[in-house]
Amino acid sequence: MSHRSGPDARTVGIMADPGLPEKVARSVVRGLEEDLRRGGDGHPGGWAVEVSRETLPLTGEGTIPLFDHAPRLLEEHGWDVVVYLTDLPRVHEDEPLLLEVDLEQRAALVCLPAMGADLFRRKMRRLTDVLVDAVAAADARRPTEAELRRALGRRTVRRAGPGDGDDVVRAVLPGALNRLRLLAGMVHSNRPGRLVRALSSCVAAATATGAFGIFYASIWNLSDGLSPLRLLGISAMVVAALSTWLIVHNGLWNRLHGSSRPWREGLDNASTVLTVGLSVALMYLLLWAVLFVIALAVVDADYLAGQLGHGIDLFDYGHLTWLAASLGTMAGALGSNFDGDEAIREATYSKREHQRRLLADG
């Protein structure tokens, strides 16, 4: 994907991991070219922006060696600057890492999860503009903390580096609030809805069990006697139970033995719990909707009123399917035994996070 501003335009190459990073990269191209053109750096040809869906292999430490490959990438693609977007969460000096930039290599790496889950496309556009300007100016003082704060719309950004033995400047986001933003970004990158598609056997078992329960008058009377608060408690219990089963059965829990950064591994587990929990909650809601339609189609209203001993409305059907969905979700744990463990792990995490965990487990 390429947008040319003129025959003498310099080119920014945005490399992106598959999934969310690629979507973000393609969404900011046109606006980024406009921002760079308004920047007026004195180059008559302006800037062109190209997006490449390309990945670099992780190192043994689970990092992306962009700066080792930057000269080759610039030469092969004819780029003047390369910016790499990844959904791999990183830390530096015990704080969430936002970016790394090497002015000499004309390359920068941005970790999307550190931006959180709100308006990150707009933030990414402004941040890339700042990075390209800094590389083009070859100014070792840039990007400044003030520039990064304006790009992100927040106050807490700290510039670190260059470090010993390299020319890499890093930006970290210190503080507990930024760790929560990193957690939100990790869950967003995992895209919880993908796990539902990987749980085909679990969903099938839950649907079959829930639909079967709709035919039993005992379920009708039991649901009619339960308060909404009690049904809500049952729903929370079965969602938590199935989520726990999926995490334990598929080895998704990250053990913290001997960890030098317990908060980082704790963040891994928190993102796993939230990703799986949101996926199971989504499955529960979809199951309820399907069972609600089945109940309306199968259970005659007059017959249901006769069994319950009072007039009924849609809320009574809702109560019935609410309890049936809870029973079906409990049965989903049995069906999940037939879903592939590796497929579930791949669907739980982003591509890069899954690769990092495989390296850590190996």
What per-residue confidence (pLDDT) applies to 190? 87
> What would be the CATH architecture of the domain defined by 2-179?
3-Layer(aba) Sandwich (3.40)
Report if pTM > 0.75: yes
Q: What is the dihedral of CA 127, 129, 134, 135, to 10 degrees?
A: 110
pLDDT in tens, 19-69: 888 888 998 888 888 888 776 554 445 788 999 888 888 887 778 999 999
How many residues make up the chain in this entry?
A: 362
Mean pLDDT over residues 281-294, rounded? 94
pLDDT in tens, 56-111: 888 877 789 999 999 999 999 999 999 999 998 888 888 899 999 999 999 999 99
Query: What span, in angstroms and rounded, lies between the C-alpha atoms of 351 and 75?
Result: 27
Reading the block at residue 61, the tokens are: 């430490």
pLDDT in tens, 169-185: 999 999 888 899 999 99
Reading the block at residue 238, the tokens are: 């079965």
Contacts of 35 (CB under 8 A, 6+ apart): 125, 126, 129
What per-residue confidence (pLDDT) applies to 44? 47
Helices and strands in the chain, H and E counts: 14, 9
Place of tokens 């689970």: 62
Beta strands in 213-257 (DSSP E): none
pLDDT in tens, 119-129: 678 888 889 99
**DSSP state, residue 253:** -
Mean pLDDT over residues 248-263, rounded? 70
Ordered by start, the domain boundaries in the chain are 2-179, 191-361
Place of tokens 């039993």: 216
What per-residue confidence (pLDDT) applies to 105? 92
244/349: higher pLDDT:
244
